[in-house]
Amino acid sequence: MGLVLVLAGLSVLGYVAWQYWGTNIVSKQQQAQVREAISEDWKNGTDGKNIGLLRVPRFGKDYEVPIVKGFDPGSLAKGVGFYPKGDLPGELGNFAIAGHRVTHGEPFRDFLKLRKGDKVYVETRTAVFTYVLRNAGDSITVDFTEGWPLQQVPDPALRGEPPTKSVLTMLTCSELFHTDNRNVVVGDLVRIVDKSDPERKIPLPSA
């Protein structure tokens, strides 16, 4: 019985170590591979199967994480996931993304440090989109079943309303360990830079 308990304890410790350290190592490698794939696609003049790159100065000057399509576990292990039924960067509507705060690369580990007015940059093959956050990372908490953050207009009071502007919604777990709650920030698109002509002023989408 003592041996069984020891083995069970080691198994639990091994599982925890894998979840909180092993998955980070694997995901960092996968993120590097995705970034390389994005770079090669852009050099070849194609968008590829990924969305682009995310930069958040609040998370550090060197912070850069690939944005991949999908909210499934496999996608979230490779970077930040894009809600596939949502709108793309710069389109009228809601560009919704999600990421882990712990395990699998921890791209949103510092999510609760976000503050109203912070800038978030999304780079695609052709443009760089600048969003300014409306709220802090710890100011909105919802149950994981709540659907309004994924609406075209991410506002619980505007369910079903057509979009009038381009916005960004970022989601993550509200606790470092298992939780059914999610933290949410929403940002407004304030600038679009054409990478082929940075001086050209591009109008923001509106209804």
Active site residues: 100, 173
Burial class (CB in 10 A: 0-12, 13-18, 19+), 136: middle
Q: How many CB atoms lie within 10 A of CB 44?
A: 10
Distance CA 3, CA 14 (A): 16
What is the CA angle 113-114-119, rounded to 5? 145
| Strands in the chain per DSSP E | 52-55, 65-69, 80-82, 93-98, 119-123, 127-133, 141-143, 166-173, 181-194
Report helix, strand or coil for 142.
strand
